Amino acid sequence: MPVRSVSAWTHLPGATMPSGKTLKLVLYEVLEFTALVAPVFVVLERFASLLRDVSNRDWTTYWLIVFVSIAYVTSATLLVWAPLQYMVLKRRGVIVEITQWRPTVLVFLVLSTAPCFGILIACSKVQVDAGLRLDHFTELPVSLVLFSMIFVDIVEKLRPHRLMGPTDDLDSDLILSSPVLTHLEPVSSVSGQISAPLRTEDTPNGVTHADPELSNGTPSGRWQDSTPARSPYTPRTPTAAYLYSTRPRAYSGPLKVLWRRDPRAEIFVESFMFWLDTVEMVRSGGTPDVFYSAWVFPVYILCFVSSLRLTITPNNPLHAWAGVALQDFPFFVLRVALLATFGYVTPVLFLVKNLIVCLTYVYFTFLTKLKVFKRQSMF
């Protein structure tokens, strides 16, 4: 039997390989769907286990909640998630006109993040009403909810980029912009430029006619192509004129690898750093003193409100306002109340961060526009 090569098989009818774009699309959709359903299943299973323990090991309640979670995920996927993803990928309907926010992320927050935070609050309420402290939801389910939210943000930001090969936006060898010495010439003072016409005369040939007394130190009446006589007010040392260029500089040598950068890797770092404040607030809400009190309600509600910033498209000017209105100011008020009630359940560093962000936003955005701040001063 003759052996066919791999290239021969690829040219057979029905044996075409999927393209890279198709594989990337399938990968992104699977990852986003996993981030959508995994937190719901985990949190609802923990809630079912809690109700089972509260009701004296009643397995009927446990399996009922498990079936409800399966029904919820199935209906939400078929009725909302799948049609929305189809319209987004095919650019159909009103999706084409949406440019300032991300519908996929908004639906994810409504279908996954909001129910999970609601279940966390219900878990606290059930135990408080029963007078028990069986479970305050350990780190795993809470971290899974937050990680899924951050991961969806990363996937949406990675969609325009390629997963293999160099990025289209910036060469990895080109790094920070720096001032470049592009021009060097003597720069005279203003007084020297004013007195220069009194001492010299320009000729049609572009040469300078110097005074007889100052040409090479001897009287002379010849036309000379020489430098004009120095004025008494002209600086003796020429000044270098530096022009700043935004052209990135390429580095070579044995340490070249230290200067490499890629925006695709920076997306992961920036996304996790962006949500550190919300992560810390959720962690504060998971401490036993806060979790088994009425303060768990504002903690998780404000954390969900803070996550709504995820729906705004990247590099949108609304991020500054949304950060202050939806996160920093509400978190500052809440942290002050938590510190006054429970002590140091939240780090003071984040309290200072919220305060500084609010003050600097108000000052540089509004107060600097007033007349009193427009006066010329040393500042």
What are 250-277's pLDDT values in tens digits?
A: 566 677 778 878 888 888 888 888 899 9
| Mean pLDDT for the stretch of residues 299-304 | 94
Determine the Cα–Cα distance for residues 298 and 290; give it in Å rounded to an integer.
Answer: 10
Name the pLDDT band for 304 (thresholds 50, 70, 90): very high
* Residue range 35-69, pLDDT digits in tens: 999 999 999 999 998 888 888 777 888 999 999 99
* Residue range 237-247, pLDDT digits in tens: 444 444 444 44
Between residues 232 and 143, the one the model is more confident about: 143
Given this model, what pLDDT does residue 238 score?
47
* Residue range 317-331, pLDDT digits in tens: 888 999 999 999 999
| Mean pLDDT for the stretch of residues 348-354 | 94
Determine the Cα–Cα distance for residues 151 and 271; give it in Å rounded to an integer.
Answer: 8
The answer to whether 100 touches 316, Cβ cutoff 8 Å, is yes
The alpha-helical segments, DSSP class H, found in the chain are 6-10, 20-54, 59-76, 82-90, 103-108, 114-130, 139-158, 190-199, 263-274, 276-285, 288-291, 296-307, 318-323, 329-342, 348-365
* Residue range 147-164, pLDDT digits in tens: 999 999 999 988 888 877
Strand partners, 224: 208
Percentage of the chain exceeding pLDDT 90: 35
